[in-house]
A and B are shown apart, each in its own frame.
Chain A
Amino acid sequence: MNMDYDQYNGMDGDDSGPRVVIRKANATTIDFALQHTTLALANSLRRTMLAEIPTLAIDLVEIHSNTSVLADEFLAHRLGLVPLSARDIGGLLYGRDCTCEDFCNDCAVFLRLSVENRSSNENVKIFAKHLTLEKRNGEAIDMTRDPYGRAATENEVELPPRGFPIIMDEKEQGPLICQLRRGQELKVRCIAKKGIAKEHAKWAPTAAIGFEYDPHNKLRHTQLWYEADVKEEWPDSKNVDWEEPSQEGERFQYEAEPNQFFINLEGTGVMPPDAILHNGIRTLQEKLANVIKGLRDTSDPSVPNGLDGGGSPMDGVMNGGGTQYGAHSAYGGGQSAYGEPGYSTAYGQGSVYGGGMATPYGSRGY
């Protein structure tokens, strides 16, 4: 692992490489500074945390009876936005990956909402707390175990089991879903599934991510608009104390790069903010692993794949040298310098580099 650190600043020891300094933390929010990494990674992490962490949300609503003032689809939309606990979401399959025909307990969570205003002259309010969990066959799941279990310390709010609605208000009711007048009722069965925010924002685990770097604009990544005086019109950010302000007459460092990022991660409560960050990093690594796998699979010439670049535009250009890359073709067009003509992959077996092993960066066991 040390070999990889050398790329970043050529120093050994724990001081080199990325650093994290946590400034504030509570049950929903972590405010920290990420140092000695690159803007590219910090931004990719931010994007992943916002859009690609799998969570759980209601996706299908079977309406048995709805005599409320809200339309069925309106209600279904609201139910989709109710935050549900995403504990152990890794253990739940995506609906498309599950082998079951419809939905089962391995790929979905079933909830029931059944409220009626029989005789009250006041509106009966339906809150998220009225949602109850059940198994696919209708067998109810015990919710009496304190589902909103709060541990003694604020930092360790234990997440309720997967699928439980997240209730964080002091009255312990959760979001208001609907109101019923006397005689109205609502009976629905909801199916919650795993998904990511790219598909629909209801699956977003983050409420917001604050992201700032270079509070003094020393990198000149922006130009602040002003009427008379920049310094008077623009208030200081709360991160100004964490970096040196630019001195009078200081030359502009044109080679400087962003090095310190102030991130304020606020979750919706469906998973603790630590989990959001860990899952963000893990999701990013899974993306990378999928690409590596795709690359490795395409190295095997016996498997038909698209890595041969598609047939038609190249068919007439094999030996004609029409490309601007020196008439070299990866498809063994007889002019390739890398091995006998006629073999279809440009790498893997028979490569001049000893099977791709001996790069100056060390051997790879591929």
Chain B
Amino acid sequence: MAQDSDDREMEDAAPGAEANESTNGDFIKEKQRLRLLPGSTDTAASFAFEKEDHTLGNALRYMIMKNPEVEFCGYSIPHPSEAVMNLRIQTFDNVSVFEVLRKGLTDLADLCDVVEDKFTAARDEFDAAHPDGEEA
């Protein structure tokens, strides 16, 4: 009999629920490009950046190493055929790795600003000194 069996009737979904709905619409398209590798803690963490290479890795590593709270910082590219860059940060005492990473990123952005400003100033100076466009 129908009541004795374990079969259940499948009910229609509740109104308003959709098959592939995500809590944040933007994340459907964009895959997460920054991952935390297993075994990471709050003071010693490895990150995996997708679609990144030495262009970001070396500059970021340099900037993070400038931070005296950082015990270790290094990056590697596990395989050249795969666009993944791993970055490991270890900090002394109770400093958060994520804060260190954020600081490194913002400091690098500031350094880029400074270089750009200096270049613009030098360029304007050069143009003013060479109005006919001669070479130095």
Contacts and interface: CB of A to CB of B under 8 A. Distances in A.
A210 B27 CA distance: 41
A44 B38 contact: no
A346 interface: yes
B71 interface: no
Nearest to B53: A47
B116 A4 contact: no
A352 B123 CA distance: 48
A25 B129 CA distance: 12
Contact of A303 (B24, B34, B115): B24
A366 B32 contact: no
Contact of B102 (A24, A281, A295, A314): A295
Interface string B34-54: 111111111011000100101
B62 A41 contact: yes
Given A20-B118, A298-B32, A44 B42 contact: no
Contacts of A307: 32, 34-36
A302 B112 contact: no
A338 interface: yes
A211 interface: no
A353 B95 CA distance: 8
B80 interface: no
A277 B107 CA distance: 19
Interface string A280-313: 0110110111111011001100111111111001
A221 to B, nearest CB: 15
Contacts of B113: 281, 285
B114 A18 contact: yes
Contacts of B39: 309, 314, 323-325
A224 interface: no
A193 interface: no
A304 B22 contact: yes
A252 interface: no
A51 B56 CA distance: 13
B98 A347 contact: yes
Contacts of A281: 112-113, 115-116
Nearest to A37: B115
A346 to B, nearest CB: 5
A249 interface: no
A356 B42 CA distance: 11
Contacts of B122: 19-22, 32
A351 B41 CA distance: 12
Interface of B: 22-24, 27, 32-42, 44-45, 49, 52, 54-56, 58-59, 61-63, 66-67, 69, 94-96, 98-99, 101-103, 105-116, 118-123, 125-127, 130-133, 135-136
Interface of A: 1, 4-5, 7, 17-27, 30, 32, 34, 37-38, 40-41, 43-45, 47-48, 51-52, 153-156, 274, 277-278, 281-282, 284-285, 287-292, 294-295, 298-299, 302-310, 313-314, 323-326, 328-330, 336, 338, 346-347, 351-353, 356, 359-361, 364, 366
